[in-house]
Amino acid sequence: MVQRLYLSRVVRGVPACEDGLAKLNSYYADLPPTTGHFWNDISAAARAAWQRILRRPALSAMPFPLLSVEPNVLSVNDTVYVPAVYLVPPLFNYGDADSGKYGFLGFALARALVHQLGLTGLVKPPEPEASEMLSHMTTLTRCLRLNRGSERYPNQLADLMASGPVLKAFESVTRGDSETRKMFVGACLLTCSGNDPLRCDLAASQTTNFAKSFYCLNMSAMAPATRYTVW
């Protein structure tokens, strides 16, 4: 199932653990075959994933619709649209959703998605408060710039850093609960591995500090000569 989704560019990242593919295949085992129109397939996958992740029996309980016009673009209106490519098993949902503390990388990636929502004016990047934070920002910027070969994400992901206001802006649009916020930040993580799983890698192990799991792979032609850990 995952192989078919991956080839269809519906699921465009593969976990960086030995049994990651097996876990994903098991998670998506009950989804319908990916046949028919692309948008019908992605919608069916999204609905099934949301039902399982949120543990709700009916779609009427969903906090917002599941599909946007573009598979990687969210809406600025009263509704936030989450593409099915971001609906992944709970093992990808790093961070402590109840406290809202996701770490620097999570906020940086969340900022990129918030930017796509058209909420740029509501969320401003904070000034680095210490040399350590500045070092993190510099490393993350270099990593993302070297790893985004397309013109789709580099400026958004490399230039836009954020902290607390990101979640406030997100909550004001979705009015979601902590589980929804947790899924949103998980989606931000998957954004990084969007085009090529060899360019940005994610560890599939459960951890509350997911920033430690992000790094550029030196096996990739787009990666720097040495591996950069961005936390």
Q: Hey, is 41 helix, strand or coil?
A: helix
The whole-model pTM stands at 0.20
**Domain definitions of the chain by residue range:** 2-216
pLDDT digits (tens, 9 = 90+) for 88-119: 222 222 333 333 333 333 344 444 444 433 33
pLDDT digits (tens, 9 = 90+) for 150-206: 433 333 333 332 323 333 434 444 444 444 444 444 444 444 433 333 223 332 222
Q: Hey, is 211 helix, strand or coil?
A: helix
Exposed / middle / buried, residue 61 (Cβ in 10 Å: 0-12, 13-18, 19+): exposed
User: Per-residue confidence at 60, pLDDT binned at 50, 70, 90?
Assistant: very low
- Residue partners of 230: CB distance under 8 A and separation at least 6: 105, 136, 139, 140, 143, 211, 214, 215
Q: What pLDDT, on the 0 to 100 scale, is given for residue 139?
A: 52
Q: What pLDDT, on the 0 to 100 scale, is given for residue 180?
A: 41
Is the model's pLDDT at 128 over the cut of 50? no
Q: What pLDDT, on the 0 to 100 scale, is given for residue 198?
A: 29
pLDDT digits (tens, 9 = 90+) for 153-167: 333 333 332 323 333
Furthest CA-CA distance within the chain: 53
